[in-house]
Amino acid sequence: MVEALTIKEEEALFLLTENSIIDEMRTVVEQFWLPPHKACAQIEKIIRLYTDDLSLKVMVSGETKNISLYIIGSSGVLALTPFSNIDSNVLLQKVYGESLLPKNRKWYIFPPDPRLIRRLTLPKVLLVNPCVLENFPVPRLSLSIGLLASYLRKYQKADVRIIDMQMGFTVKDIIDEALQFRPVLFGLSISFGQKGIALSILDEIYNARKPAITDPLIVLGNIIPAAFPSEFLERYPDSIVAHREGELTIMGLVEYLQGERELESVPGITFRNKLGNIQSTPNESVPMALIPLPALDTIEDLVRCKGALTLELSRGCQWNACTFCPREHKSSIWKTFPTEQILDQFIRLRQICDHFGLSRHVFLADEEFVGGMNDGLETERITGLSQELRRRDIGIHIDAAARVDQVYSPSMGTAWHIKRMKMWHLCRQAGLDRLFMGIESGSNAQLQRYGKGISAGHAVIAIRILSALGIPLRFGFIMFDQLMIGLKDLKENITFLERTDAFMKPIDVQEYGYEKLFELLLRDKDFVATFSANKPIYAGVSYMLATMEVLINSRYKVMLKHAERQYGKQLILDENTPDTNMGRYKVVFVDGLIKDISVSSQKWIDRHFGAAYTIKSAYKIAPEPERKYLMDWMIAYRSISLLLVKALVFIFDENENPEELFDIMTSGILEPNLPSSLGEFRNDSRKGNPVYRARLIEDCLNIFDRLVEVEMRKLKTLMELGEVTDTADGRLHAVLQRWQANKGMWVLINDADHASEHEVS
């Protein structure tokens, strides 16, 4: 065993081993959400109360279970590990070996071994999450940089700091921190739509890269750099682009900077080698059991901004066949945490919620909550997790996502469906507050183009089952795609979204039993009518009127290439130079009318996106009285959005009965001039002219915008009455002001050159 240092009682390190002082320091370190540098500052204050030895240095490293405190003096090093014993400390194991470390000790004073002192001099890493705050004003816990920071801390490999621009930090704040902190590695996570702000940060960092000030290795990760490494390496030749999972990559890069390995051996990177050629290394997947809780450095800011807690329990998707979803930057297999690890992370987050007064609600970022196990035991795994959540009374509520065929799959028998109903019912009892399903379309032809592997009817049955079990739902829906020809698919979508035979009232399972309830929901129209919630499907759609985005490396691009040969026309206009901000192609619509309706719908979305996103985000964490007001606004907005598309179909579909009037209503208020205006638009002989058609559609947008304005006034009144509360820095109020200021402006946010405004000529 490493011999304990023998020092005089009056020396500083010995003084600090007094039980009461150890307890004070332990209390600080046990706040596992504190960023290490803030924990160090609090420890230093405690030390100053008991000794005037200014030579003592403080370091905190590790995460949750293995957080460690080191106080480094000229005569030795005091190590304190409140969550574990000294002999399980990974840093000390590297220096001395586990067998030589003291057993059953929470603190220990080590001699001033040069190896230990050198190992405690951790390289500095600064990780940044850029964000265009105007587009995404309500934050969520950043998993991208949070998981990387936590992984480095777990193995005590680096002194990591985080800056998340969701919390209001500016480019100047980032540069100031880099100049003051002087990291050896500067990491930037660049997701969809964040390229512009990221380039601003990088340009400033490169301007500040002077050896005497700061000269970090620049590492770029997430979907955009991973998809376009050559573009970033052209602009920043000595940067490193990370692709796929980042934990082993960033660990390897830190080891490279420490001289412990060659750059070519670091997994999952693209870079310019010594010859100036672009080189990539193979990806390596980190075992899920080794991934810790994401770093919680930003939790105080998250509370201030009324943001949402997010967590990742699995990675990948077992389906891997949706044509709109690029998979190259994601895991090609589905994998999940062990159940005990999930429970431990929930317990940690419960501590966070209780300490900061947050609602015990976590939003899972998993692509697929249920997933696909190699042994086919998905139901048993979720059932076991739910049972443990209830047995331990953990009290965490979650939002999750699953495919329709995890609920209803006609290829599976009755026994499978009964087990699944029991599983989902238990999930609800264990804290499942809401489930997201990617329904995507009510047109079977469109669902086939999307590669969903389901029909619209399957989705209806799944909604019935889950809502009957009392599970609130929300849906993904892609109304338009570029291969849509004519109005048939669109009209099927409208009819589907208006169906009221999908959402059920909660039904007492004990009265019917799972098997009988399943059969009734599947086949008995009278039973369905009796228990219908009289709620249209569109009420659960997260974003109405969305258009297919043809993302790089997606299968839909391949379908467009086939269609190019079929129609003898170019459909992908920038195949070799795609939009590297949004990671998508500029594509042509086969049908000009569908193009016009789609583009106008996207302008409608973008006009209201800031308000809709902020209100939807506020709903996630609002207390119950506020949630109803916010949900009422969202449903009214979705209703108006669908009515807009119905009106456009009414205007342009020559086969539609002109005498049929739509219920152009919202919240009991009728727009007086709407029916006559729609009739005039329909009868206008100039509507076939593409230029005039665009003007006519914009007039229609302005009419329906007045209906949204009514809902905005209601929301503003609720805020003035204190029924709906804002963030501490007034983000909801600011969004409503911007909405009013932009009245009548119909532009595309992330599509300056109107990439979708093309059709086959």
Contact 492, 443 (CB under 8 A): yes
Whole-number Å distance between alpha carbons of 172 and 301: 18
Name which of 417, 524, 410, 519 is nearest 456 in CA terms: 410
pLDDT attached to residue 658: 52
Contact 221, 242 (CB under 8 A): yes
Three-class DSSP category at 614: helix
The mean of the pLDDT values for the chain is: 90
Give the CA diameter of the chain: 99
Instruction: Measure the CA–CA gap between 624 and 241, rounded to whole angstroms.
Output: 44
* Same domain for 133 and 68: no
CA distance 209 to 198: 16
Supply 27's token pair.
Answer: 């209390």
End-to-end CA distance of the chain: 81
- 320 and 259 in a common domain: no
For residue 385, being part of any structural domain is answered with yes
Looking only at the bridges linking them, the beta strands covering 107-110 and 309-311 are unpaired
For 200, how many CA atoms within 13 A lie in the half-sphere containing its CB? 12
Residue scoring higher pLDDT (749 or 102): 102
157 falls within a domain:
yes
In this prediction, residue 373 carries a pLDDT of 79
Q: 238 with 188, same domain?
A: yes
Residue found under tokens 């480094």: 72
CATH number for the domain that contains residue 338: 3.80.30
Contact 157, 254 (CB under 8 A): yes
Between the CA of residue 314 and those of 336, 356, 368, 728, what are the distances in Å? Answer: 4, 26, 8, 33
Number of domains the chain contains: 3
The answer to whether residues 222 and 320 belong to one domain is: no
Residues 130 and 103 in one domain: no
Phi-psi region of 455 (alpha: psi -120 to 50; beta: other; left: phi over 0): beta
- In a domain? residue 69: yes
What CA–CA distance (Å, rounded) separates 27 from 82?
A: 9
> 459-515 pLDDT, tens per residue?
999 999 999 999 999 999 999 999 999 999 999 999 999 999 999 999 999 999 999
User: Sign of the C-alpha dihedral, residues 98, 99, 104, 110?
Assistant: negative
Q: How far apart are CA 243 and CA 282, in angstroms?
A: 10
Both tokens assigned to 99? 């067998």
Burial of 638 from C-beta contacts in 10 A (0-12 / 13-18 / 19+):
buried
Domain assignment present for residue 644? The answer is no
Closest by CA to 76, choosing from 11, 132, 137, is 11
The Cβ of residue 602 has, within 10 Å, a number of other Cβ atoms equal to: 25
> Which pair of structure tokens corresponds to residue 608?
């209201």
Of the three residues 226, 259, 288, the one that is the final residue of a domain is 288
| 351: nearest Cα among 30, 623, 39 | 30
Return the closest-CA partner of residue 589 out of 359, 758, 417: 758
**In this structure, are 414 and 529 located in the same domain?**
yes
At 352, which helix (H) or strand (E)?
helix 339-356
Q: Are residues 144 and 43 in the same domain?
A: no
Q: What is the pLDDT of residues 6-64, one digit of tens each?
A: 555 447 788 888 999 999 999 999 999 999 999 999 999 999 999 888 889 999 999 98
Place of tokens 């690029």: 326
DSSP one-letter string for 355-366: HHT--SEEEE--
> pLDDT for 170-209, tens place per residue?
999 999 999 999 999 999 999 999 999 999 999 999 888 7
Domain end position, chosen among 237, 253, 288: 288
The residue range of the domain holding 240 is 124-288
For residue 207, the model assigns a pLDDT of 87
Residue 145: name the closest of 169, 164, 171 by CA: 164
Is the same domain home to 98 and 170? no
User: Confidence class of residue 756 from pLDDT cuts 50, 70 and 90?
Assistant: very low
Instruction: Please indicate, yes or no, if residue 113 is contained in any of the structural domains.
Output: yes
Report the distance separating Cα 660 and Cα 672, nearest Å. Answer: 17
In terms of domains, do 160 and 278 share one? yes
Residues 153 and 107 in one domain: no
Which of 60, 92, 119 is at the close of a domain?
119
Interval 359-363 mean pLDDT: 94
Structure tokens at 513: 């039993």
Other beta carbons within 10 Å of 537:
24
Return the number of other C-beta atoms located less than 10 Å from residue 678's C-beta: 20
pTM of the full structure: 0.91
Q: Which two tokens stand for residue 12?
A: 């500083």
Which runs of E-coded beta strand occur in 503-566?
546-547
- 352-355 long-range CB contacts below 8 Å, 24 or more apart? 352/33, 352/296, 352/299, 352/309, 353/309, 353/396, 355/33
Q: Is the pLDDT of residue 212 over 60?
A: no
Predicted confidence band of residue 761 (pLDDT cuts 50, 70, 90): very low
pLDDT in tens, 683-740: 888 888 888 888 899 999 999 999 999 999 999 999 999 999 988 888 889 999 999 9
Are both 207 and 274 inside the same structural domain? yes
Cα distance between residue 87 and residue 77, in whole Å: 15
The reported pLDDT for the residue numbered 517 is 97
**C-alpha dist (Å) from residue 148 to 158, 187, 294, 675:** 11, 10, 8, 56
Please say whether the beta carbons of 353 and 578 come within 8 A. Answer: no
Can you tell me which residue has the tokens 């909660």? 506
Is 593 part of a structural domain of the chain?
no
The percentage of residues in the chain with a pLDDT greater than 70, rounded to a whole number, is 93
* Interstrand relation of 309-311 and 68-73 (parallel, antiparallel or unpaired): unpaired
CATH code, domain carrying 162:
3.40.50.280
Model pLDDT, residue 318: 86
- Which residues contact residue 554 at a Cβ distance below 8 angstroms, ignoring those fewer than 6 apart? 323, 324, 325, 326
**Nearest CA among 588, 609, 610 for reference residue 599:** 588
* Domain match, 103 and 193 both: no
Give 66's DSSP letter.
Answer: G
How confident is the model at residue 10, as a pLDDT?
47
Q: Name the one residue in this structure whose structure tokens are 């996207």.
A: 602
Any domain includes 242: yes
Distance CA 400, CA 297 (A): 24
Residue 514: both structure tokens together: 């799972």
Q: Is residue 667 part of a domain?
A: no
CA dihedral 277, 278, 281, 283 (to 10 degrees): 180
Helix H segments across 269-338? 299-304
Higher pLDDT, 296 or 7: 296
